[in-house]
Amino acid sequence: MSDTLLVIEDEALLGAELCDEFAGTGWDTVLAADLAEAERLLFERNLEPLVVVSDMNLPDGNALDLLEKVRKKGLSGEWIFLTAYGGVPESVRALKLGAYDFLEKPCDQERLQIVVAGARRSARAQRRLQDEERVRGSRYSPSAFIGHSDAAKEVREMLIRLSRVPFSALLITGETGTGKGLVARILHYGGSRSGGPLVEVNCAALPRELIESELFGHEAGAFTGARGRRRGLIEQASGGTLFLDELGALELELQAKLLKAIEDRRVRRVGGERELEVDVQVVAATNQNLEAGIAHGEFRADLYHRLAVFRLEVPPLRKRKEDLEDLVPVFIDEFNARSGQQVEAVAPSVWQRLGNYEWPGNVRELRNLVERCVLLADGPVFPERWLHLNGQVSPEADSVPGARAEGDRICLPLDGSISLDEMERSILTEALARNDDNVSLTARVLGTTREKLRYRVQKYGLKTTD
């Protein structure tokens, strides 16, 4: 399909000549003799030209007035103006309105072709960005939080309410894997700041010695290795949303600086002498109990109360298991599309096992499970063989199916019927049993530390005597 070029020119011969010239280079050209006709094409017939070449002064007005209307309606496309007697004020106004170029008549055809080709590339890039924004906007609407349970409905209702108000800060709480990142993206792309940047920061993933520089930026020479100026993540998020994941990992000193930046809407780069104004909407997320952190002096109460202007708790999957019947088909379709598989049917026994599982890893664990099963499926039936749930479900389970002890050895099947966690749990269960459930003695036998073994004992809910 050819790109559309709209020519607005009251001189009939020149307009026809321009249309013929560009039609010969692959454009779908449309000619308008005045602003009224051009306005009908753009606003009534919904013409979407990639590039507009327009005379500046037409019988019924100035083309800049039409460009101003176009920009107010949010229509895309690059505009190039031609004029025989344009002055500096008009050229300045054209550039302020986002015109691509401003050329004087008579314009050399070869130069005009070059300028139009550049405008075409620019307009295509803008259109791709707009298409991506629309896709993200639809992908991250409140309906993207899937589920028909009361808990899921409450979250969606809160997301709809929050997307309608220009909140300054919000705190998302919930266990790991519940979908806090998805909620943050829904709030950004569904709100008034969707046209601005979304900057995501995992506070736990940034090295402690670099996190201040990453958040606030730095000037050249601020520290060893700072060769140039760097804009911080808060500065980069200006006009949009800053998503701070794993907020509880921030040190107290940085918590104080973050609070000041949010309160004052200003940041100072490391090594900088002046403060820079920023306009950010802050969405923070944590899986920690920040109230307990405040009580132990590990988190600032003033920062907590500043961020918790609104608070949204994302429920764990075990409290909304009825949503499994909504989530599983969505994930199956996703991985079918990625892998070319055609998994369709899920057996009742699979649904029963999924419903009986407690989902310590929440929706993330479910998504990973579906990915594994779809990729390893041999046909249209969801394979129960690759669920790998038995050893992870119940702390009270005494053994792992498929594992057996033979003298001083433990034999474990490697046919995919049990997972790595199940293998580890089986080994620990047998080793503890042979050492009277004594953690210290078992740690020495297994060549590990008591702390490491204690962590795994708690992870699998095993019984010990110390």
Within this chain, do residues 25 and 120 fall inside the same structural domain, yes or no? yes
Q: What is the pLDDT of residues 22-35, one digit of tens each?
A: 998 889 999 999 99
Within this chain, do residues 124 and 73 fall inside the same structural domain, yes or no? yes
Q: Mean of the pLDDT values across residues 256-268?
A: 92
Query: Looking at the DSSP assignment, which residues form a beta bridge with residue 170?
Result: 283, 310
Q: What is the pLDDT of residues 366-410, one digit of tens each?
A: 999 999 999 999 999 999 988 888 444 333 334 455 565 555 677
* pLDDT value, residue 399: 47
Check pLDDT > 80 for residue 263.
yes
Within this chain, do residues 252 and 293 fall inside the same structural domain, yes or no? yes
User: Which range among 86-100, 326-340, 377-391 shows the weakest confidence by mean pLDDT?
Assistant: 86-100
Domain with residue 173: its CATH number is 3.40.50.300
* pLDDT value, residue 396: 31
Check pLDDT > 60 for residue 431.
yes
Check pLDDT > 70 for residue 290.
yes
pLDDT band at 72 (very low <50, low <70, confident <90, very high): confident
Within this chain, do residues 127 and 153 fall inside the same structural domain, yes or no? no
Is 231 within a domain? yes
* pLDDT value, residue 233: 93
Q: Mean of the pLDDT values across residues 64-70?
A: 92
Check pLDDT > 50 for residue 10.
yes
Angle between helices 324-339 and 348-356 (to 10 degrees): 120
Examine the fold and report which residue of 91, 114, 136 is the final residue of a domain before the chain moves on: 136
Which amino acid is it at 382?
A: F
* pLDDT value, residue 449: 84
Range with top average pLDDT, 94-98, 103-107, 249-253, 328-332: 328-332
Is 440 within a domain? yes
Within this chain, do residues 65 and 167 fall inside the same structural domain, yes or no? no
Is 392 within a domain? no
Q: What is the pTM of this model?
A: 0.62
Is 202 within a domain? yes
Percent of the chain with pLDDT over 70: 92
* pLDDT value, residue 422: 79
Domain with residue 65: its CATH number is 3.40.50.2300
Percent of the chain with pLDDT over 90: 52
Contact indicator for 212, 257 with CB cutoff of 8 Å: yes
Is 370 within a domain? yes
Within this chain, do residues 29 and 102 fall inside the same structural domain, yes or no? yes
Q: Are strands 78-83 and 51-55 parallel, antiparallel or unpaired?
A: parallel
* pLDDT value, residue 136: 60
Q: What is the pLDDT of residues 299-318, one digit of tens each?
A: 999 999 999 989 999 999 99
Domain with residue 430: its CATH number is 1.10.10
In 281-374 the beta strands, taken as DSSP E runs, fall at 281-286, 310-313
Is 212 within a domain? yes
Check pLDDT > 90 for residue 325.
yes
Which amino acid is it at 64?
A: L
Within this chain, do residues 39 and 115 fall inside the same structural domain, yes or no? yes
Examine the fold and report which residue of 90, 114, 136 is the final residue of a domain before the chain moves on: 136
Within this chain, do residues 43 and 172 fall inside the same structural domain, yes or no? no
Torsion, Cα 149 151 154 158, to 10 degrees, reads -130
* pLDDT value, residue 404: 58
Domain assignment of residue 232, given as a range: 141-315
Within this chain, do residues 219 and 96 fall inside the same structural domain, yes or no? no
Within this chain, do residues 254 and 290 fall inside the same structural domain, yes or no? yes
Domains in the chain: how many in total?
Answer: 4
Within this chain, do residues 155 and 61 fall inside the same structural domain, yes or no? no
Is 397 within a domain? no
Is 396 within a domain? no
What contacts 204, CB < 8 A, 6 or more positions away? 245, 246, 249
Examine the fold and report which residue of 271, 287, 315 is the final residue of a domain before the chain moves on: 315
* pLDDT value, residue 9: 92
Which amino acid is it at 149?
A: S
pLDDT band at 140 (very low <50, low <70, confident <90, very high): confident
Q: Mean of the pLDDT values across residues 214-225?
A: 81
* pLDDT value, residue 227: 73
Within this chain, do residues 88 and 181 fall inside the same structural domain, yes or no? no
